[in-house]
Structure 1
Amino acid sequence: MKVTFKSWNAVAFWRWDMPADDVCGICRNPYESTCSKCKYPGDDCPLLVGDCNHSFHMHCIFSWLRQESSQEKCPMCRQRMSFNGLPRCLIQEV
């Protein structure tokens, strides 16, 4: 018996590998949701985890770090914000 598919529709569900009750420390939206600048969640606004282990939407933390009052510190713990080798010049471009 030979079976031939004439059409196929895939359905998928994704989520970040984070606890369900975690929210972005800046916009207070869940990680599966979007930041205030994005229309759809996903690759355009990934999560960034700092060396202090606090995580944020990419647009949220970059906006925070561009403010003069932030002094480039984590909004949660006030440690100097760094991301495992992410160049600082990238923050001004986003």
Structure 2
Amino acid sequence: MKVNIVEWHGFSTWHWNLATESHPENSGYVDELCGICRVAFDGTCPNCKYPGDDCPIVLGSGCTHNFHLHCILKWLEQDTSKGLCPMCRQTFTYKNLYPIMTEELVNLQTLIDGHRVMRERFQTDNEQEFEAFEDEDGEQMNG
């Protein structure tokens, strides 16, 4: 019996390998969804045409929620986000797994730092607002 191959279609699949020396339990296939756009990490966020290095995953370090880079950037650009995770409302920080700081990762860090400064300023303003009042003689007033 002789077989002639008339047509052949090759295909491949890929997935993010999130294993690092500090987190070897992350090895293997990650089938989570982005907490913002609800698309699988092996897919693309709404801003991208193709999955891969142009649409990396940002792993939360303060919480365990993960997002596409473009999704978390868009979230943190809003003043109403207050620099908090959209899932659990903890202060959002991320694990930098990428050896090169791209422009988008720099923007992410800038947004996180800006929200941190605003939170600190707000806390300072609130503390000053609740300080004890003094009357004209310098004695503290209860009230």
| TM-score, normalised via structure 2 length | 0.50
Q: How many residues align?
A: 83
The one-letter code matched in structure 2 to 1:48 is V
Q: Find out whether 1:55 has 2:75 as its counterpart.
A: no
Quote the sequence identity (%). Answer: 45
Counterparts of 2:40 and 2:96, CA distance in 1: 26
Give unmatched runs, 5+ long, in structure 1.
1-9
Structure 2 residue runs without a partner (length 5+): 1-9, 18-28, 112-143
1:84 shift after superposition:
3.6
Match of 2:84 among 73, 76, 93: 73
Q: How does 1:1-94 map to 2 (within 5 A)?
A: 12-17=12-17, 18-20=29-31, 22-51=32-61, 52-84=63-95, 89-91=106-108
* Alpha-carbon distance in 1 for matches of 2:54, 2:96: 20
What TM-score does the superposition give when structure 1 sets the normalisation length? 0.74
What is the DSSP-based 3-state SS (H/G/I as helix, E as strand, rest coil) of the residue aligned with 1:48?
Answer: strand
Q: Which has the higher helix share?
A: 2
Counterpart amino acid of 1:16? W
Work out whether residues 30 and 41 of structure 2, in 8 Å CA contact, stay in contact via their aligned partners in 1.
no
